[in-house]
């Protein structure tokens, strides 16, 4: 019997990680306040937890691009296609060339969305229970991205409008889980988007997190089979995930929260098999 292949994850060591500018509310007041040694240790702990369940590939951190460590924003991978990000903020635009070069050098067909902002797997998340792609917009990615991705990839997309600037990317407030559950913070979305989620996901599959858990970036989790790796979860959330069959691994990532990111932001899934 052939053993199932391990998930493939792209990460970037925080060699040059810092908060040098202010492009989200989490960065405000944290410029030049990163404890480099602590950030390195937290990243290594996350890497270790992920390596137990996945094959991790690395891209070198380029000086002058502190947020490159957040590889979720490199682009969206679907089958053998990589859709590279086109960042809304100039401060991150320099990352595009390096991530696109990495995709091309690792056998991905690169196909960009022209004429619009799109911030990769930060705002585009494949559901695990049905063939659709959740696409966030409102803060970083353009509202047209959902239609463009549907045409490009041939997968149904569901646009979700983000309304709370603290949750500026979709992956900060929504996490599709391997069993078809959806862990999310409803208040991060407008009413129409909350209704769209409720219409698509049965109530027993919706795991609603509290504001406390949302602000601890519980939704910014890495899910590998039955393992959920995250910064922190309340006892209630841990119990709910456990009841759904998941093992929860907490690993502190507070240095990265100063820049507005956590576990999921620090990773990019490379082996999305396609849903249609």
b/e for 206-229, b at 16 or more Cβ within 10 A?
A: ebebeeebbbbbbbbbbbbeebbb
For residue 120 the two structure tokens come to 């990769």
b/e for 248-263, b at 16 or more Cβ within 10 A?
A: bbbbebebbbbbbbbb
Q: How many residues does the chain have?
A: 276
DSSP state letter for 51: H
> 52 an active-site residue?
no
- Give the helix ranges, DSSP H, for the chain: 36-51, 90-93, 95-105, 145-153, 191-200, 211-215, 235-243, 254-257
HSE of 195 in the Cβ direction (CA atoms, 13 Å)?
A: 3
- The one catalytic residue in 169, 173, 175, 219 is 169
> 12 an active-site residue?
no
For CA atoms 82, 86, 90, 94, the dihedral sign is positive
| Rounded CA separation 249/89 (Å) | 33
**Residue with tokens 């691994």, as numbered in its chain:** 249
Active-site residue list: 169, 265
């Amino acid at each position: 019997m052939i053993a199932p292949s391990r998930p493939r994850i792209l990460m970037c060591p925080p060699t040059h990680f810092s908060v040098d500018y202010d492009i989200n509310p989490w960065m405000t007041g944290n410029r030049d306040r990163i404890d480099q040694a602590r950030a390195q240790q937290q990243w290594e702990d996350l890497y270790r937890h992920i390596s137990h369940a996945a094959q991790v590939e690395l891209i070198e951190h380029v000086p002058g691009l502190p947020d490159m460590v957040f590889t979720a924003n490199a682009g969206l991978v679907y089958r053998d296609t990589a859709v590279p990000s086109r960042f809304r903020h100039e401060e991150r635009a320099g990352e595009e060339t390096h991530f696109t070069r990495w995709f091309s050098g690792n056998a991905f067909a690169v196909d960009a969305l022209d004429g619009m902002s799109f911030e990769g797997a930060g705002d585009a998340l494949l559901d695990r229970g049905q063939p659709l792609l959740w696409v966030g917009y409102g803060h970083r990615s353009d509202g047209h991205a959902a239609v463009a991705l549907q045409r490009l990839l041939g997968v149904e997309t569901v646009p979700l409008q983000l309304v709370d600037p603290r949750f500026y990317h979709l992956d900060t407030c929504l996490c599709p889980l391997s069993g078809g559950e959806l862990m999310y913070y409803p208040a991060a979305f407008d009413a129409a988007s909350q209704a769209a989620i409720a219409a698509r996901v049965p109530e027993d599959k919706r795991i609603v997190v509290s504001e406390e858990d949302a602000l601890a970036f519980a939704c910014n989790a890495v899910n590998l089979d039955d393992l959920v790796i995250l910064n922190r979860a309340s006892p209630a959330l841990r119990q709910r995930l456990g009841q759904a069959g998941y093992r929860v691994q907490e690993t502190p990532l507070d240095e990265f929260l100063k820049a507005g990111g956590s576990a999921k932001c620090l990773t990019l899934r490379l082996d999305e098999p396609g849903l249609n």
